């Protein structure tokens, strides 16, 4: 493995995640770094948040509930939505102290405040990373410097996806949608 400032985190992820999820996390981290660079944000902080965004994704429901007790009915009914908040807890335990990196990890599931560039970069990168084969236009838009527009469209697409499958939308995501509509 190539030595980077994040090699220790990468090794920890390799232990915790399936090979597919680890590869996804690396692609998200790389895309988040490039999106950050294109939008005047700190690329290394974006890389770290992208790298760790799914740190808790493959935990059992019981462990997710222990690390991130549900705060609403959506979280009680669909514990996987807790993996962002649980990931924040685990990242802190691994030594991440940067509150914006931690907020981006937590917010990649349900959304972040519009204007929080680091969080928007990770959110878009998660939906648009090349391994998914979807949303390449969102990546292009964000890489061209229109992170806010890419983020707005990413949230709209995620909500449409959930609603189209009869999955309830998290209250925080609804709040993000309302803020985006005001802009």
The tally of CA atoms less than 13 A away on the side-chain side of residue 104 is 33
Summarize pLDDT for 25-76 with one digit per residue, the tens: 999 999 999 999 999 999 999 999 999 999 999 999 999 999 999 999 999 9
**Residue 149 falls inside a structural domain:** yes
Q: How confident is the model at residue 4 (pLDDT cuts 50, 70, 90)?
A: low
Q: Are 69 and 52 in contact (CB under 8 A)?
A: no
Tokens for 149? Answer: 């527009």
Task: Count how many domains the chain has.
Answer: 1
Mean local confidence (pLDDT), 86-115 = 97
Residues in the chain: 183
Residue 3 in this model has a pLDDT that exceeds 50: no
**Residue 92 falls inside a structural domain:** yes
Name the residue range of residue 17's domain. Answer: 7-182
Q: Are 118 and 36 in contact (CB under 8 A)?
A: yes
Residue 20 in this model has a pLDDT that exceeds 80: yes
**Residue 2 falls inside a structural domain:** no
**Residue 1 falls inside a structural domain:** no
The confidence score (pLDDT) of residue 7 equals 78
Is the pTM of the predicted complex or chain greater than 0.85? yes
Residue 143: which residues within 8 A CB-CB, separation 6 or more? Answer: 34, 35, 38
Summarize pLDDT for 120-154 with one digit per residue, the tens: 999 999 999 999 999 999 999 999 999 999 999 99
CATH number (domain holding residue 41): 1.10.3210.10
Reference 174, options 108, 111, 105, 125; nearest CA is 111
**Residue 38 falls inside a structural domain:** yes
Q: Are 26 and 131 in contact (CB under 8 A)?
A: no
DSSP state of 41: S
């Amino acid at each position: 493995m190539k030595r980077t400032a994040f090699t220790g985190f990468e090794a920890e992820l390799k232990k915790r995640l399936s090979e597919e999820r680890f590869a996804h996390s690396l692609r998200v981290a790389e895309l988040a770094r490039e999106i950050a660079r294109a939008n005047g944000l700190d690329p290394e902080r974006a890389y770290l948040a992208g790298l760790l965004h799914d740190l808790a994704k493959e935990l059992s429901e019981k462990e997710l509930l222990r690390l991130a007790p549900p705060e609403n009915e959506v979280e009680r009914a669909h514990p996987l939505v807790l993996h962002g908040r649980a990931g924040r807890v685990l990242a802190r335990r691994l030594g991440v102290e940067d509150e914006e990196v931690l907020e981006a990890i937590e917010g990649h599931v349900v959304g972040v405040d519009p204007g929080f560039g680091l969080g928007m970069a990770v959110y878009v990168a998660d939906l648009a990373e090349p391994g998914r084969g979807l949303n390449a236009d969102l990546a292009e838009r964000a890489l061209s410097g229109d992170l806010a527009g890419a983020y707005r469209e990413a949230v709209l697409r995620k909500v449409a996806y959930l609603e189209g499958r009869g999955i309830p939308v998290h209250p925080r995501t609804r709040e993000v949608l309302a803020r985006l509509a005001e802009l």
